[in-house]
Amino acid sequence: MSMLEIVAVIVSFLTIWLTARRHMLCWPLGMVACALYFKLFLDVRLYADMVLQALFGLSIVYGWVAWARGRDAQGEVAVRPLPLHEAGAGLAVGALGALAIGWLTSRYTNAALPWLDSALSSFSLVAQLWTARRQAASWLLWIAVDVIYVGMFVFKGLLPTAGLYAAMTGLAVVGYVRWIADERRRAAA
């Protein structure tokens, strides 16, 4: 456990909490969390997760703009449903990304857990895209990914980060409940 990891955990937790509440401050705070975890994952040779942080940085810009444009008349971020064809396409892209990244990192790096790290990274990108698009189903994918991340981080000895991902699983449940309620409220209106 390092000071870097502790600060990254705190900033990341606040980011996810703000995301679940659909607060715009989640995006700039998320950028800080990405930078902190980029360095941490570099240090522990989780390269796919390191690259994931850089990609999250790009997706944060997209999400920030999408949420700013996706507000309703009251200024709230409007939740949207995830069409079945988009869900299938996203999961297929996640699987293909996992295979491609896993092959690259297992063949060309000394990554600690190349296949698992790559799969989690790839599906995290799908979940991040769905979050940026304000789709409540993103939280279901986050729950699945975060549960597996907990085990990986315990295995790597990153116990504060494992604790963060356990807490993020709980926040993802809260986020899903809140977002699905908003989605249903909008559909009924």
Residue type, 136: A
pLDDT of residue 46: 82
pLDDT number for residue 161: 86
Domain regions of the chain by residue span: 3-70+85-188
CA 136-119-1 angle, 5° bins: 90
Q: How high is the pLDDT of residue 51?
A: 86
DSSP secondary structure letter of residue 76: P
Per residue, what are the HEC states of 144-187?
A: HHHHHHHHHHHHCCCHHHHHHHHHHHHHHHHHHHHHHHHHHHHH
**Side chain identity at residue 148, one-letter code:** I
Q: pTM of whole model > 0.95?
A: no
**Tens digit of pLDDT per residue, the chain (189 long)?**
789 989 998 999 999 999 999 999 999 999 999 999 999 989 988 887 888 899 889 999 999 999 999 888 788 888 989 999 999 999 999 999 999 999 999 999 888 899 999 999 999 999 999 999 999 999 999 999 999 999 999 998 989 889 989 999 999 999 999 999 988 888 887
